[in-house]
Chain A
Amino acid sequence: MKKVAVIGVGQSVFGVRGDVTLQELAWEAVREALEDAGITQKDVDISVVGTVGTRGYELMPAQPVNDYVGMTPKGPTRVEMACATGLAALTVGYNFIASGNADVVLAIGVEKMNEVDTPTSLAVGGRAGNYLWEFHFYGTTMPAGYALYATVHMAKFGTTEEHMALVAVKNHYYGSLNPKAHFQHPVTVEEVLKSRPVAWPIKLLDSSPISDGAAAVVLASEDAVRRLKVDTPVWIAGIGYANDTPILTRRPDYVGYRATRLAAEMAYKRAGIAPQDVEVANVHDAFTIAEIIAYEDLGFVKKGEGAKLIAEGQTYAGGKVAVNIDGGLKAKGHPLGATGLGMVYELTKQLREEREGKRQAPLKRYVALAHNVAGVGHVAYVVVLRR
Chain B
Amino acid sequence: MSRKYVKIEGPYVESVPLVYKHKIPIQKTEQFWRGLAEGKIYATRCKKCGTVYFPPQADCPVDMSSEMEWVELPREGVLEAFTKVYARPQGFDDLEPYVIGIATLSNGVRVMGWVEPPDERCIKVGDAVEVGTKSVKDKYIIVLKLKKSCT
Contacts and interface: CB of A to CB of B under 8 A. Distances in A.
A184 B5 contact: yes
A241 interface: no
Contact of B86 (A57, A118, A196): A196
Contacts of A15: 5-8
Contact of A119 (B6, B90, B141): B90
Among B4, B55, B87, B112, the most chain A Cβ lie within 10 Å of the Cβ of B87
A126 B3 contact: no
B125 interface: yes
A148 B89 contact: no
A248 interface: yes
A100 B90 CA distance: 46
Contact of B88 (A57, A120, A127, A139): A139
A18 B10 contact: yes
A35 interface: no
Contact of B110 (A132, A134, A250): A250
A178 to B, nearest CB: 11
Interface in A235-279: 247-250, 254
Contacts of B125: 151-152, 154-156
Interface residues of B, number: 45
Contacts of A156: 125
B70 interface: no
B120 interface: yes
A377 to B, nearest CB: 13
B48 interface: no
Given A57-B15, A149-B81, A152-B81, A16 B1 contact: no
Contacts of A188: 1
B5 A141 contact: no
Given A139-B92, A186-B1, A199 B7 contact: no
B80 A185 contact: no
B83 A199 contact: yes
A92 interface: no
A143 interface: yes
Interface string B86-115: 111111110100101010000000111110
Given A184-B4, A196-B86, A140 B81 contact: no
B85 interface: yes
A202 interface: yes
A196 B88 CA distance: 13
Main secondary structure, interface of B, reads loop
B40 interface: no
Among A139, A184, A187, A250, the most chain B Cβ lie within 10 Å of the Cβ of A139
A16 B8 CA distance: 6
Contacts of A144: 83, 85, 100
A119 B102 contact: no
B84 A254 contact: no
Given A137-B139, A254-B80, A123 B3 contact: no
A136 B32 CA distance: 14
B85 A139 contact: yes
Contacts of A176: 4
Interface in A180-226: 181-188, 191, 196-202, 209
A133 interface: yes
Contacts of A46: none
A85 B82 CA distance: 28
A165 interface: no
A248 B102 contact: yes
B86 A197 contact: yes
Among A187, A202, A249, the most chain B Cβ lie within 10 Å of the Cβ of A249
A305 B13 CA distance: 50
16 contacts: A16-B8, A18-B9, A18-B12, A122-B87, A132-B24, A138-B98, A138-B100, A140-B85, A147-B83, A183-B4, A185-B1, A185-B4, A187-B1, A199-B84, A200-B84, A249-B54
Interface of B: 1-10, 12, 15, 24, 54-55, 80-93, 95, 98, 100, 102, 110-114, 120, 124-126, 139, 141-142
Enumerate the 8 nearest inter-chain pairs by beta-carbon distance, A residue then B residue, closest first: A15-B6, A147-B83, A139-B92, A123-B89, A155-B125, A123-B90, A249-B110, A148-B81
Interface of A: 13-19, 57, 115, 118-120, 122-123, 125-127, 132-141, 143-144, 147-152, 154-156, 176, 181-188, 191, 196-202, 209, 247-250, 254
Given A15-B6, A16-B8, A139-B95, 9 more contacts: A16-B9, A18-B12, A119-B88, A122-B88, A133-B55, A139-B88, A152-B125, A176-B4, A182-B6
